[in-house]
Structure 1
């Protein structure tokens, strides 16, 4: 069926590290606003590279999420078409359980 994204944890960690780096660089840049010349240029380039990397990672993870969501929808659709009565029974059971839970919660 669906496979777990192999680098999911590592990718999340990398994205978080990139975002922390952006924040750290921005804070440093603000604190050291006396930077001039080559130091300012180097800090700006590093900051822009980090932001660019974080943006690229976000786009990549968004694409992966969309892909996995489509796979899940397709698998669900196939299951329902192959097992219509099981699907109806599962839906009815879930509905019944939710109804009981809601009715007990309103007492």
Structure 2
């Protein structure tokens, strides 16, 4: 997987995690204000509850998309390694050599 694709994938995963955190905090806020009275507060809580439901659906969709893309990349990598075993071994050996050099310097 190219570096930009890995970075994009990591960004999506972080976004999903951040959104889950925001949704959880908003959900907790709704629960904490459940006993509060007032028409304006009731309206705000209702809108927030609706938006939370939509956000939860979108997060689930985003997670499913990330999982599917990860599966596709893993399958493509597996296919490539099976099609080009010696090139894959060479790349792995090269990476291991470079990591060994870097680790040996410390």
Does TM, scored on the shorter chain, surpass 0.5? yes
Query: TM tier, shorter chain?
Result: 0.5 to 0.7
Which 5+ residue runs of structure 2 have no aligned equivalent?
none
Rounded to whole Å, the distance in 2 between the matches of 1:88 and 1:49 is 52
For the pair shown, the structure with the greater C-alpha radius of gyration is 1
Give the structure with the larger helix fraction.
Answer: 2
Structure 1 runs (4+) deviating above 4 angstroms are: none
2:102 match? 101
1:71 offset after TM fit, Å? Answer: 0.5
Instruction: Give the structure-2-normalised TM-score.
Output: 0.65
- How many residue pairs get aligned? The number is 88
Deviation at 1:43, TM superposition (A): 1.5
- 1:41 matches 2:42: yes
Within the alignment, does 1:91 sit opposite 2:76 as a pair? Answer: no
**TM-score using structure 1 length:** 0.65
| Structural RMSD (CA) | 3.3
